[in-house]
Amino acid sequence: MLKKLLVANRGEIAVRVIRAAQDLGIATVAVYSDADRDALHVQIADEAANIGPPAAKKSYLNVANILKAAADTGCDAVHPGYGFLAENADFADACAGAGLAFVGPSGDAIRTMGDKVAARSAAHAAGVPVVPGSLGRIGSIDEARHILIDTGFPVMIKAAAGGGGRGIRIANDLAEFEAAFPQAAAEALAAFGDGGLYMEKVIAKARHIEVQVLGDGRDAVHCFERECSLQRRRQKVWEEAPSRALSPRIRDELCASAVRLTRAVGYSGAGTIEYLYDDEADRFYFIEMNTRIQVEHPVTEMITGIDLVAEMLRIAGGEPLRLRQSDIIPRGHAIEVRLNAEDPSRDFAPFPGTVSALRVPGGPGVRFESMLYAGYTVPPFYDSLLAKLVVHAETREAAITRLVRALSETRIEGLRTTKPLFLALAKDDAVKANAVHTRWLEGWLATHSSRLVPELEP
């Protein structure tokens, strides 16, 4: 078992990881920038270390300062949270090199899954369906023409070294493809130092479905799926587990494919395999693997009763997987919404400031994951996520009713938040029927966003 953990993150995830470690009797060290001296994660950790100025590059992304803090405080492990250094293979290697257990997969596993082409190849080799397109990098336009006979149009031309929606071009026919291909190669070379390209067919109306996995380097299990189809600018805003869109047969196939891939790459820790699911064709396609704990992990915890962060800590401490697949049984339905410091009526303009008063929702089936407290000033330098409201109930319908109840209880005064968005979505017929896809929310916002005016308390 680990003895002392440095949490290399901030905000709600730092609070979440510190709580999980303390529940296991592991001592905790928070790190903080000059802008986060008053942050909750600093207050609740057993110790705290300053790691530099507000700019993330000089603090939360500063590997030397973080490793020094770990050495100075006598830590034997580092949890990276999500974002910042969580999927940085060199950081994972640097931790290992400094004798620290990195709570996550090996640097090599992060490298393989972080390279989009290598990840696609690994998925294909493990018998996981991938989006139709090139299996590896495209060598020439001639090679692309052959592949296009099978895929058809539209296709996305993607940079092998890209990610997060960057370096993507869409071609609707061969002429567009031939014009875009050399431009995309030049752009990828300039932006990423690597002109390598691959391509994927555009799946027009797809759901985002992802499978939570746990591995110990030898064996792996899945903790069922989440659906995160409600997205704005490729950022998830509402997540649920399980997905109502899947038949039992497709769910079994999907989850089994995720376990195959997790085993094939010798994965250790918690990870997420992301897929697109095409309702009409009743088919799923691998898109990528996230080699970290995800923001939306609590919905899986609510339906399975598993503390995923605690399992990560046990695995990093050298324990084999405690759970057999037959131990993991989903119950009921969970929904998470992301309360961000943004004004949904003004194109989601960021709204940092001071929380003048706070009323946290409670009662059965309600979980509020947050770093807020009354009097806390949200700094402008980092992510806008303030809180994740997670509800659990016997059915999806009951979970939506409970979500509205819990949102109505929630008051975050002094800031504008995305709460009005979720109150409106919970009452929308398409959301209630789960008749959505990954581009549905942006269309809905075009006609509804002006009515999502947040209450702004004095």
Per CB under 8 A, residues contacting other proteins are 35, 53-55, 57, 341-342, 349-350, 352, 380-384
The CB-of-384 to other proteins minimum distance in angstroms stands at 4
The CB-of-273 to other proteins minimum distance in angstroms stands at 26
Non-local (6+) Cβ contacts of 195 within 8 A are: 185, 186, 188, 189
Q: Comparing C-alpha atoms, which of 409, 274, 225, 426 is closest to residue 337?
A: 426
Measured torsion, CA atoms of residues 234, 212, 410, 429, in degrees rounded to the nearest 10: 60
Nearest to other proteins of 190, 446 (CB atom): 190
The CB-of-34 to other proteins minimum distance in angstroms stands at 8
Tokens encoding 247: 């038949």
Nearest to other proteins of 154, 352 (CB atom): 352
Angle between helices 116-125 and 107-114 (to 10 degrees): 100
> Active site includes 292?
yes
Query: CB of 215 within 8 A of CB of 319?
Result: no
Amino acid letter, 225: E
Catalytic: which of 16, 111, 251, 292? 292
Nearest to other proteins of 54, 163 (CB atom): 54
Greatest Cα-to-Cα distance within the chain, rounded to the nearest angstrom: 64
Non-local (6+) Cβ contacts of 118 within 8 A are: 111, 112
The CB-of-175 to other proteins minimum distance in angstroms stands at 31
Nearest to other proteins of 306, 378 (CB atom): 378
Tokens encoding 35: 């802008």
The CB-of-382 to other proteins minimum distance in angstroms stands at 7
Nearest to other proteins of 253, 383 (CB atom): 383
CA angle 67, 73, 79 (to 5 degrees): 55
Residue 193 DSSP label:
S
List the catalytic residues. 292
